[in-house]
Structure 1
Amino acid sequence: MPFGYCGDQNGAEHHLLSPISLCCPTDFLPVFYSHGILPQEHEGHEKKLKAGASQVAFGFVPNPSCFSRPFGEGTYPGEIRDRSIRNPVGSGGVPEDKKLAVFRCLSYLCPGQVRHGGTPMRSGCNGIHFIVNPHAATGAVGKQWARIQARARDRLGTFAVRMTTGPWDAFRLTRHALEDGAQIVVCVGGDGTFNEVVNGFMGPEGCVKPDAMLAYIPRGTGCDFIRTVSVPRDLERVLDLIRDARGFPIDLGRLQYRDPRHRPSTRYFHNVVSFGLGGEVDDRVNRTTKVFGGFFSFIWATLISLLLYDKKRIHLKLDNGFDETLTAWNIAVANGQYHGGGMWVAPEARIDDGMFHVTMIGDYSLREVFRHLPKLYNGRLLELEKVRCVKALRVEARSEQRVLLDVDGEQPGRLPVIVEMAPRALSLIAETPG
């Protein structure tokens, strides 16, 4: 099945939807492009709008609830099924006279920002688009957004704001922003949101807009990636970096795996993919509260998982000639150095060296695991006798047992898996390279 198509459960193939599809008005949500003004703030600016004192662009994007299942589940994240559009008028199809052919836009800020039949908007708002997950860090981002927005407005001037509401929204909104001419896409959230934004940049042949740059304001439970890259947590410093717009190329990994329904899926990752205990920990963290923060959420989930989980037999094949079946607690394919709320699994990994660092935690007893657990956090993991780390460009893994995946802090599926290096895949705004 060629890329650009995906099939339903009956095997029928369907074209991708256009960026702005033709469907009923109720299948659209409003989006505001402004001097940092959010949709919920629009009502307070109504008088200014009418008077022309406040410049706000208004339009519609497809409602995420139109889709029967989240992206990335059984498909590449960019694939959508035509038949998954929900018809609010009944089961007989969307009447022709109800279809929309024009992306409506009142463009006070950037004249000509009209999207008609999928034609990209002209880049306005300084070419900067914020993708914001208000639910990140157990809702803290939503509470902090007014302050972040005000500081960003002072530093950056005008920009577009797109808020996520559910799974894979950040992917869709990033892709729309790039199609609209964004030069800088700023992710505000945690590693999971950042992963979706990264996937929004990437297509089957690589980055969909190579001249665009990705920026990150880390506000999440774990934020392990910034332990490897030089992206500061301090808001003023990171906004200054975005203003200076100096990007460095970073590597990504491309992952082929099975989703929870055993369907083949593909996605990119920026930090670490692991299988074994890591997937179990992610599954537990994402099903429980994160109110105590990243470190305590992950360490608690790790301790519980250690008591309930058992080692797995995994066949691992690397492009460097390594080809073994081993008993392991966890295997990490690392682009960055840390995952799981501070676990230092690949102390020598770099995000710009074009190589994965594959760390294998071998056949330890439970007592040995607890005795050596501190070494997982202090950088001494590779000193252990039953821990191996090798470099590779391609990794294949399979198991006859149920082995869950950890992908940048999310649990999207299970083995078998193929991981391939995508060197210098996109440009990240940071203080220094690597």
Structure 2
Amino acid sequence: MKTIVIVNPQAGNGRTEKIWPNIESALEKSIGSFEVLQTTCRGDATDLSRRILAVDTVRIVAVGGDGHLNEVLNGFIENDLPVNPEARLSFVMTGTGCDFQRSLGISGKWQNAAAKLKDAKVRKIDVGKVTYTAADKTQKIRYFDNIASFGLSGAVDHCLEHSRLRNYLGGSPLFLWATIKTVFTHPNQSIRFRINDGPEEEICSRLGLLANGRYFGGAMHAAPEAELDDGLLDLLMLKEISVAKFLWHLPKIYKGTHLKIPEIFFQKVRKFTAESSEQVILDIDGESPGYLAATFEVLPKILNLQI
């Protein structure tokens, strides 16, 4: 099967462009020959992968961060169906968070992911779907491989997008700084929700997430029981909580030992709908495309992941 590598040279604050010759050499040793395409703007990776898969059955390797992998993934699926059912997706993570690969037991170094591709097996995994409200108030759809969330996490995205510290910090320290900074200004918000088309409920929450993978926010072990192929999303909502208590529990979230604290609402779901009279920001695989109201669903075993 032909291999095409789609690279985001700007991933990791431009670091990917600098180390690309090393990555290219490592990939040649692992998987042999391949074609290289580079993105130049947001949305490129989705357009490139979709055009490729419409005419050819290939393996696409995404080289970049979690957001870049998400863009490539969105080229694999259209109208809740695979664009090419036999195509395969692989990745080498070079971004700031590199959270999705942690769910697969791969450490943060890109060299480990590149080497693993040599004998990579194919497994079918679930993909999440979010129908959300864009800034222009229209309804849009985005698919996700890892975690979609709302509230504090979306506000953290906005904080990072405008921070110069991105040029000096990376990975976990950057996300930890942004989380602590943002929690002092981001309030608990009133959320109306339904689980699996059940009755409407209401919660005052600082953060909610729907997890396919286990890690987000630069190594937070947010969903320790999530499985990539169980046909379910792990729903976690942080109930009304003070800043002091949130900071007290934050180390537990990094360790994945937080599910039993009283302030956590946890349930495995197939569908979750949420809305609010307040502006609640979304985060989808590390990017912030819109707001609640939103519906989160799972598409079981729709993606061929080769890693």
Retained in 2: the 8 A contact 1:216–1:231? no
Decide whether aligned partners of structure 1 residues 371 and 245 sit closer, same or farther in structure 2, where only a CA change above 3 A counts: closer
Match of residue 228 from structure 1: 103
Match of residue 200 from structure 1: 75
Decide whether aligned partners of structure 1 residues 312 and 233 sit closer, same or farther in structure 2, where only a CA change above 3 A counts: closer
Decide whether aligned partners of structure 1 residues 146 and 303 sit closer, same or farther in structure 2, where only a CA change above 3 A counts: same
Q: CA deviation at 1:304?
A: 1.3
1:341 aligns with 2:218: yes
Q: CA deviation at 1:181?
A: 1.6
**What are the residue-to-residue correspondences of 1:265-284 with 2, within 5 Å?**
265-284=140-159
Q: CA deviation at 1:372?
A: 1.7
Bigger-Rg structure (1/2): 1
Distance in 2 separating the partners of 1:128 and 1:213: 9
Match of residue 253 from structure 1: 128
Match of residue 22 from structure 2: 147
Corresponding residue pairs, total: 305
Instruction: Give 1:263's match in structure 2, choosing from 138, 155, 158.
Output: 138
Retained in 1: the 8 A contact 2:152–2:182? yes
Distance in 1 separating the partners of 2:104 and 2:177: 26
1:133 aligns with 2:133: no
Distance in 1 separating the partners of 2:197 and 2:303: 25
Q: CA deviation at 1:175?
A: 1.4
Instruction: Describe the SS at the equivalent of 1:381.
Output: coil
Between 172-181 and 407-416, report the one with greater CA deviation. Answer: 172-181
Instruction: Give 2:241's match in structure 1, choosing from 361, 364, 370.
Output: 364
Structure 1: 4+ residue segments shifted above 6 A: none
Q: CA deviation at 1:405?
A: 0.2
Q: What RMSD over aligned residues (CA atoms) do the two structures have, in Å?
A: 1.7
Percent identity of equivalent pairs: 35
Q: CA deviation at 1:343?
A: 1.8
Distance in 1 separating the partners of 2:255 and 2:184: 22
Gaps of 5+ in 2: none
Retained in 2: the 8 A contact 1:177–1:185? no
Retained in 1: the 8 A contact 2:27–2:115? no
Retained in 2: the 8 A contact 1:133–1:189? yes
**What are the residue-to-residue correspondences of 1:10-21 with 2, within 5 Å?**
none
Instruction: Describe the SS at the equivalent of 2:86.
Output: coil
Instruction: Give 1:166's match in structure 2, choosing from 18, 23, 41.
Output: 41
Distance in 1 separating the partners of 2:224 and 2:199: 21
Which of structures 1 and 2 has the larger relative contact order (alpha carbons within 8 angstroms, sep 6+)?
2
Match of residue 227 from structure 2: 350
CA-to-aligned-CA distance 1:103-137 (integer Å, 9 cap, x gap): xxxxxxxxxxxxxxxxxxxxxxx510000000001
Retained in 2: the 8 A contact 1:272–1:335? yes
Q: CA deviation at 1:381?
A: 1.2
TM-score by length of 2: 0.94
Instruction: Describe the SS at the equivalent of 2:47.
Output: helix
Distance in 2 separating the partners of 1:300 and 1:239: 29
Give 1:355's aligned amino acid.
L
Give 1:278's aligned amino acid.
S
Match of residue 299 from structure 2: 422
CA-to-aligned-CA distance 1:231-265 (integer Å, 9 cap, x gap): 45555654454344521011111110011121111
Retained in 2: the 8 A contact 1:317–1:396? yes
Give 1:222's aligned amino acid.
G
1:214 aligns with 2:99: no
TM-score by length of 1: 0.67
Instruction: Give 2:205's match in structure 1, choosing from 328, 334, 340.
Output: 328
Match of residue 316 from structure 1: 193
Q: CA deviation at 1:338?
A: 1.3
Retained in 2: the 8 A contact 1:241–1:429? no
Q: CA deviation at 1:301?
A: 1.1
Distance in 2 separating the partners of 1:232 and 1:184: 22
CA-to-aligned-CA distance 1:338-372 (integer Å, 9 cap, x gap): 11112222111111111111001001122211222
Distance in 1 separating the partners of 2:220 and 2:305: 23
Instruction: Give 1:302's match in structure 2, choosing from 176, 179, 184.
Output: 179
Distance in 2 separating the partners of 1:236 and 1:359: 32
Q: CA deviation at 1:182?
A: 4.2
Distance in 1 separating the partners of 2:26 and 2:252: 40
Q: CA deviation at 1:227?
A: 1.3
Instruction: Describe the SS at the equivalent of 2:96.
Output: coil
Gaps of 5+ in 1: 1-125
CA-to-aligned-CA distance 1:125-184 (integer Å, 9 cap, x gap): x51000000000111110111111122223333211110111011111111222342421
